[in-house]
Amino acid sequence: MTNNGDSPARVRFAPSPTGHLHLGGLRTALFDWLWARKTNGQFVLRIEDTDRKRFDPESLESLKNGLRWLGLEWDEGPEIGGPFGPYVQSQRQEIYREHAQELIDRGHAYRCYCTPERLASMREEQRRAGKSTGYDRHCRFLSDEEKRQRESEGAKSVIRLAVPLEGVTVFNDLLRGDIEVENRQLQDDVLLKADGLPTYHLAAMVDDKLMEITHVLRGEEWLATAPIHKLIVDAIGWEMPVLVHLPVILDPSGKGKMSKRKKLVAGKEFLALVHEFQDSGYLPDAMFNFLTNVGWNFDPEQEVFSREEAIERFSLEEINPSAAALPYEKLDWLNGLYIRELTPSALKSALLPFLSRQLGVSETDLISDRKLDVLIPVIQERIKRLDEAAGWIDWAYQDSDAISYPGPKLLIGRKLDAAQSVDMLRSGAQLLTEVEPFSAKAIHVAFREKAEELGVKAGSFFGPVRGAISGKKVSPPLFESIEALGRQETLQRIKHAVAYLEAHGATESG
C-alpha cells in the first residue's frame, strides 16, 4: 500500500478559490510537488470551487501565481489541461450527481428534505439540552409515502450519506497508522447540496479516483472527516489512495492554526499570505528551502540545499506529524544567505521593482544608473529582504539640499568637538577635489593617509563625512558611497554639512 518512491505517484493540490493562498497551503503544494518529482509522477492542480457563496474569482490568479513563484509547475490542471479534465469541479457537476445517485440506488445515501431552518432549530435544541450537535437522521427513515409527498410538494432536497449505525470505520494515515472511529460518532454528512453542487466529501473522493490519484496529501484538519471519506469510497467499491495528513502550521505565537490575517506577536507583524512574502522581497529559492524544512527535515546537519537535493531525499514517511509554528527568523536568515549568493547583476534585477517603487524612480532609469552598480555589491550582505535595500541607499537619490541633518551630533566625530569636525570635513573635501581616479579604492587610500597625517582615528575622520553625505549614522561603506555619489555631489554635501555645523554646532561637542 505504501509507495516507497519508485513507482510514479499521482498527487494533487486541490485548493478552493476562496481567498489568497497562504503559507500552509503553499507547503502542502510543495510536498505534493516534491513527491511527484521524486517518483517521476504527476503533480495535478485541481480547483475545488463548489462553494458558490465563498467563491472569489481573484483568488484563482493568486493561487496560480503563488505556485509559479515558488517554482511548482503543475503537470495537469487549469490552463494546461490533461487527460483527466476538466480540472475545475464546477465543470464536473454531472459526474458528482451520477455518483450520488448511484449511492442512493445502493442504499448508501438518501434524500433529505430538511430545511436549513429546521436544522438550525434542531441544533439549538441539542445545544440547550447539552447534547452534541448533529443531524438527527430525520429523513433517513421516511416512508416511501412520505418521500413521494415531499417530492410532489416540490421540496428542495440534499443527498446525505447513510452512515452505518453501528460498528467502526478504520482508515490508514501514512504518518499515524490505522485510526479507528466508531460509526456512531459520525454524521450523515451532505454529499450533494440543494444547489446541485457536491460537498468536498463527495467531490474529492470521486475526483481522486477518476483522476487516478495515488497519494492524497492534505491538511490535518481533514483527519476528522477521513472516516466519512473511507465510507464513501467503500460504498462505491473503490480503494482509498494513500492518505497523508500534513501537520497544521501554527500561528507564530504557537497558538492556533495560522490564519490569513496578519498577526501581531510580541509587537511584530507576521506575514501569512504568499503574495505578502513576495512583496516583502523573499526569494523563491529561500522560501523553497525554508518550507521544505518545516514538517520534514532534509538533514539535521545541513540547512541549505538545492531543489534537486530536496527531490532526491524527500520521503513521505519522514514527515513529522506534529504541528509546527513557522520559524520566521530562520526564514530571514536563509533569505539573507540566498541574497548573498546572488551575483550582483542578478540581485540588481531582483531589486529593480522594489527600488523603483520605494525610491520613485522608473526601472529603466535604474537599469542604467551607475550608482546602483557601485552600491548593490556593498549592501548585498546587509539586507535580509529585498525591500530593505531602499532604506540603505535612499540618500543617494535625494537632492543635496534635501539632505536634512537630525542635529549637529551626526556630523561630529568621536572624541572631537564641532570645530574639529569642521576641520575634518574640510580636509575630506580637499582630498576629494584632488583624488584620482574618483574610485572607492583611491579614495580609501587617500583618506587613510590623511587620517594618519592628522593623527586621528579613522572613525573620527570618516564619521562626519558619512553623516554629511548620507544624513545617517548608519550607511553603506563610506568610500563606495562617495564613489557612487560622484565628486561634485559629494563636495556639495560636505559644503552643506560644514555650513550646518557652523550654524548649529557651536554649543555641541562630541
Partner RNA sequence: GCCCCCAUCGUCUAGAGGACUAGGACUCAGGCCUUUCAAGCCUGCAACAGGGGUUCGAAUCCCCUUGGGGGUACCA
Q: Which stretch binds RNA (CB under 7 A): 110-118, 229-237, 281-289, 491-499?
A: 110-118
Using the rule CB under 7 A, is 182 a contact of RNA?
yes
User: Cα angle vertex 76, ends 74, 79, to 5°?
Assistant: 85
Q: Give every CB contact of residue 58 below 8 A, 6+ residues apart in sequence.
A: none
- The reply to whether 466 sits near RNA by the rule CB under 7 A is yes
C-alpha cell at 368: 542604467
User: How far apart (Å, rounded) are the C-alpha atoms in residues 401 and 391?
Assistant: 19
Q: How far is the CB of 434 from RNA (least distance, A)?
A: 19
**Judged by CB under 7 A, which of 60, 324, 350, 361 binds RNA?**
324
Q: Does 301 bind RNA (CB under 7 A)?
A: yes
> In the complex with RNA, which residue's Cβ is closer, 28 or 278?
28
Q: How far is the CB of 432 from RNA (least distance, A)?
A: 15
- d(C-alpha 102, C-alpha 388), whole Å: 59
**Residue 4 binds RNA, judged by CB under 7 A:** no
Binding string, 141-160, against RNA, x = CB under 7 A?
A: ---------------x-x--
**Interface with RNA includes 444 (CB under 7 A)?**
yes
Question: Smallest distance from the beta carbon of 244 to RNA, in angstroms?
Answer: 12
Report in angstroms how near the CB of residue 238 gets to RNA at its nearest.
20
CB of 6 to RNA, least distance (A): 17
406 binds RNA (CB under 7 A): no
Near RNA by CB under 7 A, which window of 37-45, 130-138, 206-214, 403-411? 130-138
State which residue, 176 or 262, has the beta carbon closest to RNA: 176
Question: Is residue 39 near RNA by the rule CB under 7 A?
Answer: no
User: Closest CB to RNA among 157 and 356?
Assistant: 157
Question: Greatest CA separation found in the chain?
Answer: 109
Position among 336, 464, 505, 510 found at the interface with RNA (CB under 7 A): 336
The active-site residue out of 260, 263, 409, 450 is 260
Q: List the 177-182 sheet strands across, edge first.
A: 42-45, 10-13, 215-219, 242-246, 168-173, 177-182
Q: 480-509: which residues touch RNA (CB under 7 A)?
A: none
81 burial level (CB within 10 Å; 0-12, 13-18, 19+): exposed
Cβ atoms of 231 and 185 closer than 8 Å: no
Rounded to whole angstroms, the Cα distance separating 337 from 334 reads 5
Give the residue, chosen from 23, 44, 67, 114, that forms a contact with RNA under the rule CB under 7 A: 114
Is 260 designated active site? yes
Hey, what amino acid is at 243?
L
Q: Are 192 and 159 in contact (CB under 8 A)?
A: yes
Q: What does the DSSP 8-state code read for residue 106? A: T
| Residue choice 211, 223, 396, 484 for contact with RNA (CB under 7 A) | 223
Strands 109-112 and 158-161 turn out to be: antiparallel
For 201, phi and psi rounded to 5 degrees? -50, -50
Residues involved in catalysis: 260
